[in-house]
C-alpha cells in the first residue's frame, strides 16, 4: 500500500485486513511500515513492540547480547519474538525513532525480516509510509500486488504515477499494480485522462464516508465497522486483488 499523505492508505489497509480475517483466507501478517504506526490502532492493537524500539534497546544494552551471538542475529531473534499474535492475524510494527537518525539500518532489517517471514504466511499486507521513502529504499524487492491509493484529486493521482514509475526504475518486481481512488465524492470519469496516464489498472473507488471517518477519529477497531456500501466496495476490490 502506498500513496501520498492523507489519502487513507491505513484505512484501506485495515479494511483489506478485515476482509481477509473475516473470510478466513489463511495465515495473515500485517506489517505497519509507517513510522506513525497507525495500522496497529486501526486493527485494535495497543502499544505493540516495534522494530525501532528493539534496535534502540539493544544499542543501549549491548551487554544483553548472548555470548557467541552477533548483534544482527540477536536483533532478528528479538524481532521474531516481537510479532503480535492477534485473533486471525499477526502484526509487525516498524515504529518511529526517538531521535534524529537514518532509517537505512532499520529498513535493511525490515527487508530481511519480510524475506524470512514470507514463507510462513498466505497473505502479507504492508502499510507503507506516505510518499516514496520505502520504495526508494527497496524495503520489499518483490510485490505480488502493489495498491497505490489516491484521494479524489489530480495531485493524488499524479503522485501515484510518480511512485509507480520509481518502483519500476528501481527494478522492483511487481506482479500487478492498481490504482484505488479513496474518499470519492462524485463520479470519477472526469479524472479519466489522469488515471490513464498513470499506467495503473483502476481497481475501483471508495466513497467518502462520514461513519468511517468517525470510526478512525474515535480509534475503534476496524473489525467492528459495519457499512453495507463500504463493505461491498471492499469485497469487490479484494476479489480483484485475489484474482489479478
Cβ proximity of 33 and 134 under 8 Å? yes
Band of residue 237 on the pLDDT scale cut at 50, 70, 90 = very high
Q: What are the pLDDT digits (tens) for 34-58?
A: 777 789 999 999 888 888 888 778 7
- The kind and range of the H/E element at 192 are helix 192-198
Residue 155, in any domain of the structure: yes
pLDDT at residue number 52: 80
Q: Which domain holds residue 49?
A: 9-243
Neighbours of 150 (CB within 10 A): 31
For the record, the C-alpha cell of 115 comes out as 524475506
Q: What are the pLDDT digits (tens) for 210-227?
A: 999 999 888 899 999 999
Residue 189, in any domain of the structure: yes
Residue 116, in any domain of the structure: yes
Q: How many domains does the chain have?
A: 1
pLDDT at residue number 98: 54
Q: Which range has the top average pLDDT, 50-54, 103-107, 140-144?
A: 50-54
Band of residue 133 on the pLDDT scale cut at 50, 70, 90 = low
Span 138-146, mean pLDDT?
Answer: 76
Which residues, in sequence order, are CB contacts of 229 under 8 Å at separation 6+? 207, 209
Residue 4, in any domain of the structure: no
CATH of the domain at 48: 3.40.50.300
Cβ proximity of 37 and 44 under 8 Å? no
Local structure of 206: helix, strand or coil: strand
Statement: residue 136 has pLDDT above 60: no
Q: Which residue has the cell 518511529?
A: 96
Amino acid at each position: 500500500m502506498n500513496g501520498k499523505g492523507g489519502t487513507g492508505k491505513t484505512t484501506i489497509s485495515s479494511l483489506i485486513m478485515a476482509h481477509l480475517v473475516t473470510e478466513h483466507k489463511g495465515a495473515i501478517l500485517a506489517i505497519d511500515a509507517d513510522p506513525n504506526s497507525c495500522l496497529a490502532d486501526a486493527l485494535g492493537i495497543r502499544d505493540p513492540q516495534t522494530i525501532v524500539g528493539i534496535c534502540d534497546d539493544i544499542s543501549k544494552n549491548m551487554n544483553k547480547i548472548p555470548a557467541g551471538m552477533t548483534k544482527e542475529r540477536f536483533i532478528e531473534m528479538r524481532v521474531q519474538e516481537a510479532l503480535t499474535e492477534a485473533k486471525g492475524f499477526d502484526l509487525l510494527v516498524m515504529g518511529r525513532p526517538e531521535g534524529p537518525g537514518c532509517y537505512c539500518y532499520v529498513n535493511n532489517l525490515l527487508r530481511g525480516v519480510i524475506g524470512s517471514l514470507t514463507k510462513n504466511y498466505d497473505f502479507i499486507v504492508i502499510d507503507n509510509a506516505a510518499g516514496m521513502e520505502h520504495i526508494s529504499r527497496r524495503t520489499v524487492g518483490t510485490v505480488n500486488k502493489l495498491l497505490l491509493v489516491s484521494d479524489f484529486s489530480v495531485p493524488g493521482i499524479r503522485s501515484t504515477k510518480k511512485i509507480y514509475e520509481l518502483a519500476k526504475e528501481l527494478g522492483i518486481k511487481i506482479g500487478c499494480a492498481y490504482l484505488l481512488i479513496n474518499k470519492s465524492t462524485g463520479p470519477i470519469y472526469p479524472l479519466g485522462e489522469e488515471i490513464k496516464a498513470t499506467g495503473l489498472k483502476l481497481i475501483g473507488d471508495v466513497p467518502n464516508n462520514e461513519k468511517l471517518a468517525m470510526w478512525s477519529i474515535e480509534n475503534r477497531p476496524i473489525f467492528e465497522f459495519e457499512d453495507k456500501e463500504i463493505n461491498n466496495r471492499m469485497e469487490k476490490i479484494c476479489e480483484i486483488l485475489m484474482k489479478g
